[in-house]
């Protein structure tokens, strides 16, 4: 029997040390929020772990968890899984994207009565987190280069995911069969659910981690010159007639549509309120995971459709008559996908890039991204900004985009005329601008 099929594990009262650590962590989280130092998503968990290194294991005992990891789409997929599981009760989840052990501790502390959890997990920390929480379902989304100065080469990440999967043979692994690196990581699991979630970026999977090289033919792939025969597995779940938007529903929101097929002849129409083919893939894996956890497929599909934004991603802000839609991109694959979501009817595009530790300080990957896809038959205004705006402007000029450079996203927005603006930003540029917009509202664009 797989972990997803099993009932809740027997519980026992947490140790005195764990209770004290949890109380101290909650106090630290409350103090952080009261003092305006942040959401407390990390500090609460850090305090609890300092007092009891085993507190995560204690907090997770008796709860069934879904862990979500991969290079891109973790926060969105976790939000979708949380929405689907919420149809059956309270869900513990690290909703602000605090995806390392302290943030996951805080997620459990914040929902002490929840019997299930939807947990976003940093790729490099999956083995540690999986050992502590013993997840019922592990979702593996995709793998590509991301912050090489922090996590190293992509092969290192694949080996860590593979180790986590191999160490949890009772877990259901919901894996993207279109990504050869994910297939390699999930191959040894006895309970794999393959999902054709798409893989628009193939530059990092030319070589197969278990040996050989990947040859792609249409939507399929196989490994040649390797010690074993590997090829794209036949999916249990797949999408048909996928369209990424700019489709409009009655409220004017853009979104992506597809028909989702699943085991036993399942067919569900999906109409997301989020744009992009990548989000359709995220939704397919979220639905598959929710079904593995016992949620009826129709309930899961309607729940993922209801997700409108994720920690500010895709959110709309009215800045003195400028309707600014914010999109986040953090690495080459993410940038390439995000640029396909830019509405072709919008003629103002702001791009912001910082180079802080959280972003990865080596931005040479900008030259791997094809910015020429932002070209349009319409006359478009492009503005580059951020701490590394000069590097970005040079790259955009080489892509044939007539770009103006300013210092900050606020200044860039103020340069735009009234109307719609598409804004793409990397992690800290996105985070800092969102804080300003949330704090000052429409006046932020005039700062």
Distances (CA, A) of 178 to 62, 186, 198, 244: 34, 12, 5, 18
In this predicted structure, the answer to whether residue 3 has a pLDDT above a threshold of 70 is no
- Residues 238-248: what's their mean pLDDT? 73
Higher pLDDT: 440 or 222? It is 222
To the nearest 10 degrees (0 to 180), the angle between helices 43-51 and 16-34 is: 150
Return the structure tokens found at 331.
Answer: 């690495």
How would residue 154 be classed by pLDDT, with cut points 50, 70 and 90? Answer: confident
CA 414 to chain centre: 30
What are the DSSP calls for 314-381, one per residue?
Answer: T-EEEETTEEEEEEE--SHHHHHHHHHTS-TT--EEEEE---STTT-S--GGGGGS-GGGG--SS--E
Half-sphere exposure of 302 (CA within 13 A, CB side): 6
CB 447 within 8 A of CB 350: no
Per DSSP, the three-state class of 135 is coil
CA dist., res. 398 & res. 122, Å (int) = 34
pTM above 0.85, yes or no: yes
The CA angle 201-204-209, to the nearest 5 degrees, is 130
pLDDT score for 286: 98
* pLDDT above 80 (res 109): yes
What pLDDT score was predicted for residue 237? 98
Look at residue 263 and give its three-state secondary structure.
helix
pLDDT for res 114? 94
Chain segment 191-223, per-residue pLDDT in tens: 999 999 988 777 778 889 999 999 999 889 999
Q: Is 412 helix (H, G, I), strand (E, B) or coil?
A: helix
Would you call 293 helix, strand, or coil by DSSP? Answer: coil
Sequence ranges of the chain with CATH classification 3.40.1190.10 = 3-305
CATH number of the domain at 316-446, out of 3.90.190.20, 3.30.230.10, 1.10.645.10, 3.40.630.30?
3.90.190.20
User: How far is Cα 17 from Cα 163, in angstroms, rounded to an integer?
Assistant: 30
Segment (H or E) for 383: strand 381-385
The DSSP output letter for 313 is B
Residues of the chain with CATH 3.90.190.20: 316-446
Separation of alpha carbons 197 and 339, rounded Å: 19
In this structure, which topology does domain 3-305 adopt according to CATH? Answer: 3.40.1190
């Amino acid at each position: 029997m797989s972990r997803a099929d099993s009932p809740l594990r027997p519980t026992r009262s947490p140790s005195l040390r764990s209770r004290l650590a949890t109380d101290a962590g909650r106090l630290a989280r409350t103090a952080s929020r009261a003092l305006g130092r942040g959401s407390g998503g990390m500090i609460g968990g850090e305090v609890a772990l300092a007092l009891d290194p085993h507190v995560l294991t204690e907090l997770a005992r008796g709860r069934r968890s879904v862990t979500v990891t991969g290079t891109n789409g973790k926060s969105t997929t976790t939000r979708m899984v949380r929405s689907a599981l919420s149809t059956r009760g309270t869900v513990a989840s690290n909703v602000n994207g605090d995806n390392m052990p302290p943030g996951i501790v805080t997620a459990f502390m914040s929902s002490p009565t929840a019997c299930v959890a939807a947990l976003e997990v940093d790729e490099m920390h999956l083995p540690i987190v999986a050992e502590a929480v013993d997840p019922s379902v592990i979702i593996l989304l995709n793998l590509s280069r991301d912050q090489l100065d922090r996590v190293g080469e992509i092969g290192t990440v694949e080996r860590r995911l593979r180790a986590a999967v191999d160490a949890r043979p009772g877990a259901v692994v919901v894996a993207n069969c279109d990504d050869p690196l994910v297939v390699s990581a999930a191959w040894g699991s006895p309970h794999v659910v393959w999902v054709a979630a798409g893989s628009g970026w193939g530059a990092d999977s030319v070589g197969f981690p278990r040996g050989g090289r990947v040859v792609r033919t249409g939507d399929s792939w196989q490994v040649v010159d390797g010690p074993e025969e590997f090829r794209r597995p036949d999916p249990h779940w797949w999408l048909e007639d996928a369209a990424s938007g700019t489709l409009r529903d009655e409220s004017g929101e853009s979104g992506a549509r597809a028909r989702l097929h699943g085991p036993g002849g399942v067919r569900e129409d999906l109409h997301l309120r989020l744009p992009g083919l990548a989000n359709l893939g995220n939704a397919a894996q979220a639905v598959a995971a929710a079904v593995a956890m016992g949620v009826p497929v129709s309930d899961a599909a309607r729940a993922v459709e209801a997700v409108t934004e994720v920690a500010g991603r895709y959110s709309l802000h009215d800045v003195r008559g400028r309707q600014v839609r914010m999109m986040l991109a953090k690495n080459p694959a993410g940038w390439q996908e995000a640029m396909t979501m830019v509405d072709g009817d919008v003629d103002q595009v702001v791009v912001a890039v910082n180079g802080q530790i959280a972003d990865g300080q080596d931005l040479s990957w900008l030259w791997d991204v094809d910015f020429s896809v932002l070209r349009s038959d319409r006359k478009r205004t492009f503005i580059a900004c951020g701490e590394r705006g000069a590097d970005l402007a040079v790259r955009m000029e080489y892509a044939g985009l007539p770009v103006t450079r300013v210092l900050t996203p606020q200044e860039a927005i103020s340069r735009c005329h009234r109307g719609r603006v598409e804004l793409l930003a990397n992690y800290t540029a996105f985070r800092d601008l969102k804080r300003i917009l949330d704090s000052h509202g429409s006046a932020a664009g005039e700062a």
